[in-house]
Structure 1
Amino acid sequence: MPVSTSTPSSPLPDSTEPEEAPTAKTAPAEPAEEAARTAKTAGRGPAEGAGDAGDADEAAGDVDEAAGEATGSAVEPAGEAAGAGAAATRPAGEAADAPGDTAKAATDADPAPATGDAAEAQEATGDAAEAKEPAGEAVGEAVTRPAEDAPEVAPQDAAGDASEDAADTPGAAGVVAEVRWWRWRSRHPRAARVVWWTVTVLAFGLVLGALLLPNRISGLQVNRFTRLPVEAIIGAALLLVLPRRPRTVVAVLGGVLLGALTVLNVLDMEFTEYLGRDFDLVLDWGLLDDAQSYVADSMGRATAVGAAVGLVLLVVLLSALMALATVRIGNLMARDTRRATRATLIAATAWVTCSVVGLQIADMPVASHRSADTLVKKARQVRQTIKDEATFGKEVRHDTFGATPADQLVPDLRGKDMIFTFIESYGRSAIEDPVMAPGVDRTLGTSTQALAKAGFHAKSGWLTSATYGGSSWLGHSSTLSGLWVDNQQRYRSVMASDHLSLTKAFKKTGAWDTVGVMPGIQKGWPEAKYYGLEKVYNAFEMGYQGPKFSWSTMPDQYALEAFQRLEHGRTDRDKPLMSEIILTSSHQPWAPIPKMVDWDSLGDGSVFEGIEKDGRKASDVIADGAASKEEYGKSIQYSVTALTQWLERYGTDDTVLVVLGDHQPIARVSGDNASRDVPISLVAKDPKVLDKIAGWNWTDGLRPAHNAPVWKMSAFRDKFLTAYGSTPHPTG
Structure 2
Amino acid sequence: MMAEPPRCKQNLPARLVGAALAFSLIALFALNLPDHPHAFSLEAFLHLPIEIPLLGLALVLLPRRVALFVAALASLALGIVLFLRLGDIGVQAAFQRRFNPYLDIRIFADGWNVFSGAVGPLAAALAIACAVILFLGLLALFFVSARTLAGVSGKAARCTALAFAGILAAGLVLWGAGAATGSRAYADAGGSAYVVQRVQAVAKAMKDMQRFDRLLAESDPLSETDKLFQAVEGRDIVLIFIESYGRSAVEDPRYAPLIAPRLEAVEEELADSGFAAASGWSRSPTMGGLSWLAHGTFLSGLWVDNQARYDRLMMSGRKSLNRLFRENGWRTAAIMPAITMDWPEGAYYGYDAIFASDDLGYEGEPFNWVTMPDQYTLKAFDRLVRHADEDRPVMAEIALISSHAPWTPVPKLIDWAYIGDGSVFNEQATSGDPPAVVWADRERVQRQYIETIDYSLQTIGDYIARFGEDAVFIVLGDHQPAPLVTGPDASRAVPVHVISRDEGLVARFEAEGFTPGMVPAADAPEPSMDTMRARVINIFSEPPQPR
Into which bin does the TM-score normalised by the smaller protein fall?
A: over 0.9
The one-letter code matched in structure 2 to 1:666 is: A
Q: Tell me whether 1:647 sits opposite 2:467 in the alignment.
A: no
**Corresponding residue of 1:476:** 295
Tell me by how many angstroms 1:610 deviates.
1.6
For residues 633-644 of structure 1, the aligned pairs below 5 Å read 633-644=450-461
Q: Is this contact kept in 2: 1:260–1:319, CA < 8 A?
A: no
Secondary structure in 2 aligned to 1:494?
helix
**Corresponding residue of 1:93:** none
Tell me by how many angstroms 1:455 deviates.
0.8
CA distance in 2, matches of 1:464, 1:663: 8
Q: Is this contact kept in 2: 1:252–1:324, CA < 8 A?
A: no
Selected match of 1:551 from 339, 345, 369: 369
**Corresponding residue of 2:311:** 492
Which range moves more in the overlay, 603-612 or 638-647? 603-612
CA distance in 2, matches of 1:405, 1:489: 29
The one-letter code matched in structure 1 to 2:410 is: I
Q: Is this contact kept in 2: 1:293–1:304, CA < 8 A?
A: no
Tell me by how many angstroms 1:375 deviates.
0.5
CA distance in 2, matches of 1:324, 1:220: 28
1:604-663 deviations in Å (ceiling 9; x for gaps):
2122222122223211233532222111111100111111111111011x2100011111
Q: Which runs of 5+ in 2 are unaligned?
A: 1-8
Q: Is this contact kept in 2: 1:211–1:231, CA < 8 A?
A: no
**Corresponding residue of 1:508:** 327
Q: Is this contact kept in 1: 2:60–2:152, CA < 8 A?
A: no
For residues 600-615 of structure 1, the aligned pairs below 5 Å read 600-615=417-432
Q: Is this contact kept in 2: 1:546–1:607, CA < 8 A?
A: yes
Tell me by how many angstroms 1:701 deviates.
1.2
Selected match of 1:619 from 436, 450, 465: 436
The one-letter code matched in structure 2 to 1:266 is: L
Q: Tell me whether 1:673 sits opposite 2:493 in the alignment.
A: no
Q: Is this contact kept in 2: 1:428–1:664, CA < 8 A?
A: yes
**Corresponding residue of 1:135:** none
Selected match of 2:120 from 300, 304, 319: 300
Tell me by how many angstroms 1:337 deviates.
3.5
**Corresponding residue of 1:541:** 359
Q: Is this contact kept in 2: 1:657–1:683, CA < 8 A?
A: yes
**Structure-2 change in CA distance of 1:357 and 1:264 (3 Å):** same
Selected match of 2:480 from 658, 664, 667: 664
**Corresponding residue of 1:369:** 189
Which range moves more in the overlay, 333-342 or 471-480? 333-342
CA distance in 2, matches of 1:210, 1:334: 30
**Structure-2 change in CA distance of 1:651 and 1:334 (3 Å):** farther
CA distance in 2, matches of 1:334, 1:483: 65
RMSD (CA atoms): 2.3
CA distance in 2, matches of 1:651, 1:339: 82
Q: Is this contact kept in 2: 1:463–1:711, CA < 8 A?
A: yes
Q: Is this contact kept in 1: 2:27–2:78, CA < 8 A?
A: yes
The one-letter code matched in structure 1 to 2:271 is: A
**Structure-2 change in CA distance of 1:333 and 1:606 (3 Å):** farther
Q: Is this contact kept in 1: 2:103–2:307, CA < 8 A?
A: yes
Which range moves more in the overlay, 258-267 or 621-630? 621-630
CA distance in 1, matches of 2:534, 2:197: 35
The one-letter code matched in structure 2 to 1:325 is: S
Q: Tell me whether 1:695 sits opposite 2:515 in the alignment.
A: no
Higher relative contact order (Cα pairs below 8 Å, separated by 6+ residues): 2
**Structure-2 change in CA distance of 1:304 and 1:338 (3 Å):** closer
Selected match of 2:248 from 429, 435, 446: 429
**Structure-2 change in CA distance of 1:261 and 1:334 (3 Å):** farther
The one-letter code matched in structure 2 to 1:578 is: M
Q: Is this contact kept in 2: 1:518–1:537, CA < 8 A?
A: yes
**Structure-2 change in CA distance of 1:200 and 1:238 (3 Å):** closer
1:557-590 deviations in Å (ceiling 9; x for gaps):
11111111112233x3211111100000111121
The one-letter code matched in structure 2 to 1:210 is: A
Q: Is this contact kept in 1: 2:26–2:138, CA < 8 A?
A: no
The one-letter code matched in structure 1 to 2:477 is: G
CA distance in 2, matches of 1:601, 1:299: 32
**Corresponding residue of 1:441:** 260
The one-letter code matched in structure 2 to 1:539 is: S
CA distance in 1, matches of 2:139, 2:164: 25
Q: Is this contact kept in 2: 1:517–1:581, CA < 8 A?
A: yes
Q: Is this contact kept in 2: 1:447–1:641, CA < 8 A?
A: yes
- TM-score for both structures, normalised by structure 1: 0.70
**Corresponding residue of 2:499:** 683
**Corresponding residue of 2:207:** 387
Tell me by how many angstroms 1:394 deviates.
1.2
**Corresponding residue of 2:445:** 628
CA distance in 2, matches of 1:620, 1:302: 15
Q: Which runs of 5+ in 1 are unaligned?
A: 1-50, 59-195, 728-732
Tell me by how many angstroms 1:364 deviates.
4.5
- TM-score for both structures, normalised by structure 2: 0.92
1:200-226 deviations in Å (ceiling 9; x for gaps):
544432221112111111122100111
Secondary structure in 2 aligned to 1:683?
strand
1:588-607 deviations in Å (ceiling 9; x for gaps):
12122211122122122122
Tell me by how many angstroms 1:333 deviates.
8.1
Runs of at least 4 residues off by over 4 Å: 196-200, 329-335
**Structure-2 change in CA distance of 1:367 and 1:681 (3 Å):** same
Q: Is this contact kept in 1: 2:249–2:259, CA < 8 A?
A: yes
The one-letter code matched in structure 2 to 1:561 is: K
**Corresponding residue of 1:713:** 529
For residues 53-64 of structure 1, the aligned pairs below 5 Å read 54-55=12-13
**Structure-2 change in CA distance of 1:582 and 1:333 (3 Å):** farther
1:263-308 deviations in Å (ceiling 9; x for gaps):
2211110011112222211122222122223334444333344344
Secondary structure in 1 aligned to 2:364?
coil
**Corresponding residue of 1:110:** none
Tell me by how many angstroms 1:310 deviates.
3.6
**Structure-2 change in CA distance of 1:334 and 1:252 (3 Å):** farther
The one-letter code matched in structure 2 to 1:624 is: D
Q: Tell me whether 1:240 sits opposite 2:60 in the alignment.
A: yes
Selected match of 1:567 from 385, 388, 405: 385
1:524-563 deviations in Å (ceiling 9; x for gaps):
2222222221001101111111111122110001111111
Q: Is this contact kept in 1: 2:245–2:453, CA < 8 A?
A: yes
The one-letter code matched in structure 1 to 2:277 is: A
Secondary structure in 2 aligned to 1:692?
helix
Q: How many corresponding residue pairs? A: 534
1:4-23 deviations in Å (ceiling 9; x for gaps):
xxxxxxxxxxxxxxxxxxxx
Which range moves more in the overlay, 347-356 or 557-566? 347-356
| Structure exhibiting the larger radius of gyration computed from Cα positions | 1
